[in-house]
Amino acid sequence: MSGTGREPPRRVVLVLGTTAGGTGTHVRMLADGLAGRGVAVTAAGPASAGARLAFSAVPGVSFAAVEIGDRPRPGDLASVLRLRRLLAARADAVHAHGLRAGALSLLALTLVRGRRRPAAVVTVHNAPPAAGASARVYRLLERLVARRADLVLCVSPDLEARMRAVGARRVERAVIAAPQAPSAQPGTAAAAAAQLVPLALGGPATRPVVLGAGRLAPQKGFGVLLEAAAALGDLDPVPLVVIAGDGPLGAELPARAAALGVDAVFAGHRDDVPALLGLAAVFVLPSLWEGQPLVLQEALRAGTPVVATRVGGIPGLAGDAALVIPPGDAPALAAAVRSVLTDPLLAAALRVAAASRAAVLPSPADAVDAALTAYAAAAAGRPPGPR
């Protein structure tokens, strides 16, 4: 690790909480990459995350079930004690993902005795709740992480500013990389379309596909996308909205589409999003907040024209390869999508810009390099002796 004077850690514990999106994908990618560099990795988190992400299937990676939810629970003390045992036995460095996982890991480290405690890195992946009890709890977690973490990584500039404001000693930008998609076999995109788009709706050959992908949750703004699509009914042919993903709004959003008179296919969870991006006339990311969304990186790699909101890390990630609009603004979203669908020169320019931007996106190897550098920097920046 250049400039740190430290050897890379031989044993790393990756801690995550309940996750249904990009955070879990990122942690699994780090586990794969670190194990491939000869690091002994333990992933610790809810049993549901272990099953979904299949950590134990990776050579050199073990999984330890530790229940970490998205809000305080009676079992948190047991989780802290479980983490203490793991960290005392298995860690030269601990890398927690999310404020809840970070706070519980840092509390566990205060109980580690008899040896120099592991270096502690926490990645902050999500924006705070807007108000209420959850927002107050979030602020407490921010302060705890700021005071006790050796290094805080943040996925977007606004989160960096928040963590500095609450007193974090060292704050840096997290490097997040979408997994490399396997090479598509000939006909993959066509096969995906045949399965996905009902013939009664015309299919992608005759109707442009407006694609959204992500968790069906309020943060993702898919209701705004449906409102925008309702304003595009005068186009000929009328675009078809396809939304890939599942989540708590899985019943509400189709009902909203029907009420608005919008033709929309809700495709559920998909493992072939890169193929779907190859079908799309435009990819829409209507989020009310985002960090460094993996699906945006996938869209840029696919060379798909992008319309996205000006929130979190999206503008910095997309550069000039997207039409960027205010969040929650259905008329602005409709106008941007309309411009891509009706202006071939604009669509072509966005495709070229996406390809150029994709060429400089971080790779999974870059993300693993950055993580190892972070662990060494966190250890080098601490005073000697137990803490």
Average the pLDDT over 223-228 and give the result.
98
Contact 149, 120 (CB under 8 A): yes
Rounded CA separation 236/206 (Å): 10
Q: What average pLDDT does the structure give for the chain?
A: 89
Q: What is the pLDDT of residue 117?
A: 83
Task: Report residue 135's pLDDT band, with 50, 70 and 90 as the boundaries.
Answer: confident
Query: For the purposes of burial, counting CB atoms within 10 Å of the CB of 205, is it exposed (0-12), middle (13-18) or buried (19 or more)?
Result: exposed
**pLDDT tens digit sequence for 66-101:** 999 888 788 899 999 999 999 998 889 999 999 999
CA torsion 122-19-258-201 (nearest 10°) is 100
Q: What is the pLDDT of residue 192?
A: 55
Contact 145, 99 (CB under 8 A): yes
Rounded CA separation 283/321 (Å): 12
Does residue 56 surpass a pLDDT of 80? yes
List of residues 6+ apart from 27 with CB closer than 8 A: 14, 16, 19, 43, 45, 53, 97
Q: How many CB atoms lie within 10 A of CB 56?
A: 11
CA distances from 159 to 207, 310, 314 (A): 39, 15, 13
Does residue 279 surpass a pLDDT of 50? yes
pTM for the structure as a whole? 0.89
Q: Check if 11-177+364-380 and 188-358 are the same fold.
A: yes
Fold category of 188-358 in CATH: Rossmann fold (3.40.50)
Q: According to DSSP H, which parts of 166-293 are helical?
A: 188-196, 222-230, 252-260, 273-279
Write down the domain spans for the chain. Answer: 11-177+364-380, 188-358
Does residue 301 surpass a pLDDT of 70? yes
Average the pLDDT over 243-256 and give the result.
96
Domain 11-177+364-380 has CATH 3.40.50.10800: no
